[in-house]
């Protein structure tokens, strides 16, 4: 078994695609409209789906926004230089909601960025 993807529902697909591709540097791998179901699926990631886990962005055409709820945590990305990554993300319009700093009760440095729908993405320094 392997993890294929994580799905997030997004209110504005173009805004979300811009964030994940332009701000976080992912690639749009595939996109398909389902007119009968009134939704679009877009898959983004850092590599092909055959060898990498990716994100599925689901846009339901008639739903402009979602409540995140209390069960969602975050998606985690490892970055080589967390301070530079935060500077780069900020310069591309991303919103850093926790500046880089040590993890409570741990030794890794982490930061958080928020996507246009309010989903949190954790940035982690290498182990």
Q: How far is CA 75 from the centre of its chain?
A: 7
Give yes or no: 49 in active site: no
Question: What are the two backbone dihedrals, phi and then psi, of residue 66, each rounded to the nearest 5 degrees?
Answer: -135, 155
Burial class (CB within 10 angstroms; exposed 0-12, middle 13-18, buried 19+) of 121: buried
Q: Choose the catalytic residue: 56, 87, 114, 122.
A: 122
β-pairing, 54-60 vs 5-9, is parallel
Name the nearest CA neighbour of 59 among 5, 121, 15: 15
Residues carrying an active site annotation? 122
């Amino acid at each position: 078994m392997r993890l294929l993807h994580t799905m997030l529902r997004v209110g504005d697909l173009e805004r979300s695609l811009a964030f994940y591709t332009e701000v976080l540097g992912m690639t749009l791998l595939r996109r398909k409209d389902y007119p009968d179901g009134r939704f679009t699926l877009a898959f983004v990631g850092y590599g092909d789906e055959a060898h990498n886990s990716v994100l599925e962005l689901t846009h339901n055409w008639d739903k402009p926004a979602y409540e995140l709820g209390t069960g969602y945590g975050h998606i985690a990305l490892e970055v080589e230089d967390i301070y530079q990554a935060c500077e780069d993300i900020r310069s591309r319009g991303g919103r850093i909601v926790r500046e880089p700093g040590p993890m409570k009760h741990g030794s890794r440095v982490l930061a958080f960025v928020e996507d246009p729908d309010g989903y949190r993405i954790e940035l982690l320094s290498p182990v």
